[in-house]
Structure formats: C-alpha cells, structure tokens
Amino acid sequence: MRETITLKTGQREVLVDITPEVKAVVARSGIRNGLVNLYAQGATAAIMIQENWDDSVQTDVINLLRKLAPNGVWLHDAQDGNGDAHLKSGLVGPSETVPLIDGQLGLSTWQNIFFCEFDGPRSNRRIVCTILADE
C-alpha cells in the first residue's frame, strides 16, 4: 500500500513532526504487521526519527547541521543559493523504515518521525509512505 503525505513548511530549516499523518496512513491501510517506509521527495529534504519530548532536540539538530554545512560557502550556491540544504539532506538521508507491529508503529515512547526541511519555506512537500505487509 502506498500513499503520499503532502505538507507545507514555514521556515528555511525546520523539523516537522509527521507521526500523526503516518499513523493515519497506517490505520487506513488495514495492515497489522510489516514495514512502513517513508521517503522525502526532494533533494533538499530528509526524514529523521528523533526524540519528541520537547523542541530542544530538533533545535539542536538544526544547529548542528548549520555548523557542519553553513550557508553560502558551497560551489552549488552559485546556481541557486542552497548548497548547504543539499548537503544537510544528504547527511540525514531521504528515508526511514519503521516496523509495524500489531497495527502500531514500532517507535519507542520518545521517538517520532520528522520531515526535515532544509530549503523552505515550501508550499508543497511530499513524503511517500509505503507499507509492506508481512506474509
């Protein structure tokens, strides 16, 4: 089963919690056990599983990536000014896979799924959610 989640982002760099949207896709699928794969379409976005307790971890992730790949110093910036966004996306990666156990995402208490925006704001970001059932 496959469904696309669409969202807007309001900042250049932000982690957006998409766990509720993924849970809704899982519920609609009717699949109880298997794997849920999430794939961010776009060369300047990523998917990350991270702590959900408060915003400090998400802020720390953004701040770390800003230090690792600062804006405005990359060759690609000559094309469209977002060389850092491409590098951040590559470092985090475009996808995550989560086990589906008895109809529930196999996340721990403190884990959520985040869409990572590195070149926003954007009006139309897409995450492909593919659910594979155990046989």
pLDDT in tens, 32-70: 999 999 999 999 999 999 998 988 999 999 999 999 999
CATH code at position 99:
2.60.120.460
**Residues 28 and 75: beta-carbon distance below 8 Å:** no
pLDDT in tens, 76-95: 999 999 999 999 999 999 99
Domain, as residue range, for 61: 2-133
**Residues 83 and 75: beta-carbon distance below 8 Å:** yes
The pTM (predicted TM-score) of the whole model is 0.96
| Average confidence score pLDDT of the chain | 97
pLDDT in tens, 96-113: 999 999 999 999 999 999
Q: What domain count does the chain have?
A: 1
Residue 47 CB neighbours (<10 A):
21
* For residue 135, pLDDT beyond 80: no
How far apart are the C-alpha atoms of 21 and 42, rounded to whole Å? 19
DSSP 8-state assignment for residue 103 = T
